[in-house]
Structure 1
């Protein structure tokens, strides 16, 4: 009998445990531990970003989520920049870099709107940061929300922090450089260290250096100027495409919707940042650009004779006629006008226009 009683007692305990384990959360439960998966949420100024919504901790929907405040983490004071609208460009339809090849086609897909830097999606709590964050000072902020469901309403102060960073205006993955081609034979001639970084922070290789500046309020353009070692600028028409079989390799003209050669530059109009569009990342040669400057423009070329950067680098000059083949890659992350000045260890011929 005792065995029967013990077995029955064990069944009752097991049944109680199972019942407790299967007990449903009360409809309308609103947890104190609602949170976000990321803390801090990291945002670059002026760059569109959507962050996954709240982790409800078994709280039952539907939710009504309202932004209460965004406060400076250090001072605790409200950051007014999050609550001021500014004009941004909004795409009504997806931009297609292969077919949207004129300004008319591009403008048909986009409009100008006034927008806040941060919008909170009411039902999910997703955080949508717009290009208007360009007006928010860099720093760390605390996010305060109000969340309502059928059970009631709670305030969640500092539910997560937001870290606003100055953006990386542009990225470059490899050293810019040029190599030489003999005009008669088409054979390439290379010197040691042609493709080596001299100073990666200054975008300087052994034979090429690039300076970049941005006008945030200018039109979406890349203005490329190429200089010789004495500061003489090559005309835009000197920057020609590099042949590859029956076609040509990429230049910025491949990625832009309009290209204009001037007396001292080439201007590329682009639709949106990032430029080149992310579409090109997975295409042959990615965003690498290849240019030729033919021998009619080139008087001489300098090459490394002794290589010990940054302590000592000495050069010698080769005065044979050469074609220059230039390669570089850039990704521009924010809109505006970029001035890209490329300086070559070469000498431009006088009297050639």
Structure 2
């Protein structure tokens, strides 16, 4: 019996000694980390886009994620364009056009910096800025990261992909056109559908140019009063918060400064609607409205709405089919 007890004690002592010498692992770093939303679809030129965070596969927190390299997809070529710096606006606080009504107030909330088109966060997220507009169109990339915590570090090759996409430059909303009798005050829909044609004419500047033309493309002259406001309804000027609208012989131009433009809707007036009137002195209807007295004259009432999504200079042409300039 003594012998058995001695043997058991010896085994116990050996076990204690063995476990005492064995190194107990500290923390855990997973092998199967991944990005749920990869490939990341990034619209080029947008001011701010943030990717999803890294799934850490149960790794011990805190972790630090380091970007090792971004490559052109399917090659061993480092994506040098991805690291080039460009001058972009960085917004320190959100802009509210109802509060920030001057350029000075807007500039107090933003600053220009020379930056690459992205910032890589310790969480493993990409924060993209407007500098993505300078990258090759529809380019595709892959990237490697290193993740570290108290247990050590691990490299993950080709863990995610980035796909650049064409951004939505602008969005046309409603457009309509009606006639208004100068004699009776009655109104009705012009029986030819108007058109809104939006063209990005330059990547430079932040200008919106509104031009209203007849069916033949002849412009109405806002400077001469051929285009006027309709009472207290919103116009182009109603959405131009930071710079005045410049009235020309053929168009109205606004330096909108920041996108999207317009930024906020006006309550009760749908999607950025703008209302104008062309007096009967300057326009005639191709088809005389049914039921109206012979010799009646009619003003033209176009209304339209749009939103510019990305910086640049845009021409917004409102073509009034069924209407001829006098």
TM-score, normalised on structure 1? Answer: 0.75
Q: CA deviation at 1:284?
A: 4.6
Q: CA deviation at 1:81?
A: 1.4
The count of corresponding residues between Structure 1 and Structure 2 is 291
Q: Deviations over 1:66-87 (max 9, x none)?
A: 1112222233422211100100
Equivalence for 1:164 = 164
**Structure 1 counterpart of 2:235, from 226, 251, 271:** 251
Paired with 2:227 and 2:299, the residues of 1 have a C-alpha distance of 11
Equivalence for 2:145 = 145
User: In the superposition, relative to structure 1, how do residues 35 and 302 fare at CA in structure 2: closer, same or farther (>3 Å)?
Assistant: farther
Equivalence for 2:126 = 127
1:156-305 matched pairs, under 5 angstroms: 156-174=156-174, 176-192=175-191, 194=192, 206-218=193-205, 220-237=206-223, 238-243=226-231, 248-257=232-241, 258-277=244-263, 279-280=264-265, 284-301=269-286
Equivalence for 2:33 = 34
CA contact (8 A) 1:65 1:145 kept: yes
Paired with 1:76 and 1:344, the residues of 2 have a C-alpha distance of 55
Give the secondary structure class of the aligned counterpart of 1:280. coil
CA contact (8 A) 2:172 2:196 kept: no
Q: CA deviation at 1:334?
A: 0.7
CA contact (8 A) 1:106 1:271 kept: no
Paired with 1:340 and 1:55, the residues of 2 have a C-alpha distance of 45
Q: CA deviation at 1:49?
A: 0.5
Q: Deviations over 1:87-139 (max 9, x none)?
A: 001223321111222223222322111111121111x1121011110111112
CA contact (8 A) 1:256 1:271 kept: no
Greater CA drift, 134-143 or 209-218: 209-218
User: In the superposition, relative to structure 1, how do residues 281 and 164 fare at CA in structure 2: closer, same or farther (>3 Å)?
Assistant: farther
Q: Deviations over 1:224-253 (max 9, x none)?
A: 11222233221124333333xxxx222232
Give the secondary structure class of the aligned counterpart of 1:249. coil
Equivalence for 2:7 = none
User: In the superposition, relative to structure 1, how do residues 58 and 251 fare at CA in structure 2: closer, same or farther (>3 Å)?
Assistant: same
Question: Unaligned stretches of 5+ in structure 1?
Answer: 1-25, 195-205, 305-317
Paired with 2:171 and 2:212, the residues of 1 have a C-alpha distance of 19
Equivalence for 1:44 = 43
Q: CA deviation at 1:140?
A: 2.1
Give the secondary structure class of the aligned counterpart of 1:133. helix
Q: Deviations over 1:183-238 (max 9, x none)?
A: 2222112255x4xxxxxxxxxxx3334242231112x1101112222332211243
Equivalence for 1:321 = 297
- Mapped pair 1:92 → 2:92: yes
Give the secondary structure class of the aligned counterpart of 2:281. helix
Give the secondary structure class of the aligned counterpart of 1:227. strand
Equivalence for 1:344 = 320
Q: CA deviation at 1:260?
A: 1.8
Q: Deviations over 1:274-323 (max 9, x none)?
A: 1111x32887523222222222221334599xxxxxxxxxxxxx995222
Q: What is the CA RMSD across the aligned residues, in angstroms?
A: 2.4
